[in-house]
Amino acid sequence: MAVAHIAEDEQAIIEAIHEIAVERVAPRAAEIDHTGEYPWDMKELLAQQDILAMPFPAEYGGIGASELAVVMAIEELSRPDPGSAAAWRSSYHPGWQRRAEE
């Protein structure tokens, strides 16, 4: 079985996302679930931290992270609140990255 690795800078981003998930997302998870409202504040937080820019190439204002790093970031956000991660997942499609590279 092959083991995939991500770059050190991507690992640092994943670690920062973990901290955001624990400190900012987790405390809101129960409220988001209870109200059933779209977590606009969480999407804004992800945008402010450039997390939403991860999958897009730098020439389009993104970070240009690998697909593996993006999936790992979504996983970190899903741990405390799958709904907040869905706010990102719903706007991300891995094919966009491949099309932008062509």
Q: What is the pLDDT of residues 9-67, one digit of tens each?
A: 999 999 999 999 999 989 988 888 888 888 888 888 888 998 888 988 889 888 999 98
In angstroms, the CA 76 to CA 81 distance is: 9
Q: How far is CA 88 from CA 8, 16, 24, 50, 66, in A?
A: 23, 16, 15, 12, 16
Mean of pLDDT values over 58-80 = 89
Between 102 and 33, whose confidence is greater?
A: 33
| Type of residue found at 89 | R
| Residue-level pLDDT at 4 | 67
Are 77 and 19 a contacting pair, CB within 8 Å? no
* pTM of the predicted structure, to 2 decimals: 0.77
- Specify the CATH number of the domain 8-101: 1.10.540.10
